[in-house]
A and B are shown apart, each in its own frame.
Chain A
Amino acid sequence: EVQLVESGGGLVQPGGSLRLSCVGSGFIFSTYYMSWVRQAPGKGLEWVANIKHDGSERYYADSVKGRFTISRDNAKNSLYLQMHSLRVEDTAVYYCTRERTYYDILTGPRFDYWGQGTLVTVSS
């Protein structure tokens, strides 16, 4: 059974830092692109960042570029999101999601599994 389990959320002051983690199981983690998607309270889904299966490329939403860093450790089946210079508007539930296999380039399921989410609250 595929599972994604996030951790690391919590309350942090504006300007602070936080590191989120996500552990995947039940699939070959090293063959999948992975993404973080967030959802502010009462708002819609917002894609944050993704990383290729081998960590060689990463992309970011403009709203987090330069402040957040996505990384992975395939030996530990783990995905990370290092967040710096946090703002009130970064308050959200952050979901780890399995994006696609490295070989499903043109078609195939996207974001077919999601974690339960971890809440990040930025407030003084």
Chain B
Amino acid sequence: QPVLTQPPSASGTPGQRVTISCSGSSSNIGFEIVNWFQQLPGTAPKLLIYSDDQRPSGVPDRFSGSKSGTSASLAISGLQSEDEADYYCAAWDVSLNVWVFGGGTKLTVL
């Protein structure tokens, strides 16, 4: 079972705003920075958000991240068909000394 908890699925229509949650504990999300990844079908994961809320260059500002306590969220506004992908959160766990990932959320654009 993944240490970080994400909903297995999410959906929205084009133009909508969707959020994906990621729940952890005081030894991972509550202590360390959160990262989000997007994985399109058949491709390697791509870094989407780092340090809780920072976007790498080239990532559209439609994607945003936030964190509060032991939970984090990824928001996607102005949903587009090309956003249909799997999304993962990850953080270092200072108690286990391992990286922990969420189980992934499959986003469907209706």
B50 touches A44 (CB 8 A): no
Interface size class of B (residues with CB under 8 A): 20 to 34
Measured between alpha carbons, how far is A44 from B104 in the docked complex, in Å? 6
**Please, which residues of chain B bring their CB within 8 A of the CB of A44?**
2, 86, 88, 101-104
A72 → B minimal CB distance (Å): 17
Chain A interface SS verdict (over half): loop
Chain B interface SS verdict (over half): strand
Chain B 86-110 per-residue mask, 1 if CB under 8 angstroms from chain A, else 0: 1010100000011111111000000
A79 → B minimal CB distance (Å): 15
Q: Tell me the nearest residue of chain B to A96, going by C-beta.
A: B44
Extra A-B contacts (18), CB below 8 Å, given A61-B98, A112-B47: A44-B2, A44-B101, A44-B102, A45-B88, A45-B90, A46-B101, A47-B90, A47-B98, A59-B97, A59-B98, A62-B98, A109-B50, A109-B51, A111-B35, A111-B45, A111-B90, A112-B56, A114-B45
Interface residues of B (CB under 8 A from A): 2, 33, 35, 37, 39, 44-47, 50-51, 54, 56, 86, 88, 90, 97-104
